[in-house]
Amino acid sequence: MAKEEIRFEDFLTNVTPDNLDFVSSTHAYVTKSGCTYKIEAAKSGHVLSYILPRSKKVLLNYVFRKNGMIVRIYGDFVNNYSDILETLPKGMADSIEKSPPCKRLNDLTKCNSRCKMGNIFELNGVEHKKCRYSCFMFDAKDENHAAISRFIESELSERISQ
């Protein structure tokens, strides 16, 4: 039995009104820039992933949690636009600082052998070695929308230029 395809419009029915414009404008921007998307059912709602076909790597996900929607950005090229980290709202910077360290960066025998490894970057003058799957996970809320958009635009621009 084939899985039923979940449409973007169906995904939007789970998005709160205060995030609708943000999600819709981000969707328009990344798809216009060449990303494809995939929506999958998950325990706490749908997961929407955007992929740049040339690299076949996920750029970002929208994930639903008990406390609301989260945006996970895979900042593979964060060091090419690291100045943006210093402009993040305090809550977003705190989220990065509280995220778990990358186990594989410290010991290759730790974590899953297929793990791509985390990110090494500076934030507020401190070097961080963070897990790529959790370091850039931000609450999708109004005060973060502009900073998240800049982050996505910067990462996507870097990926396109590679």
Q: Which amino acid is at 69?
A: M
Q: Which amino acid is at 33?
A: S
pTM of the complete model? 0.92
Which among 78, 162, 158, 160 is positioned nearest to 123, based on CA atoms? 78
**Contact between 120 and 96 (Cβ < 8 Å):** no
Domain boundaries, the chain: 8-161
Which parts of the chain register pLDDT below 50?
Answer: 1
User: What is the C-alpha separation between 129 and 97, in angstroms, rounded?
Assistant: 10
Q: CA dist 129 to 38, 99, 105, Å?
A: 29, 10, 7
- Amino acid 3: pLDDT: 61
For the stretch 15-35, pLDDT in tens is: 999 999 999 999 999 999 999
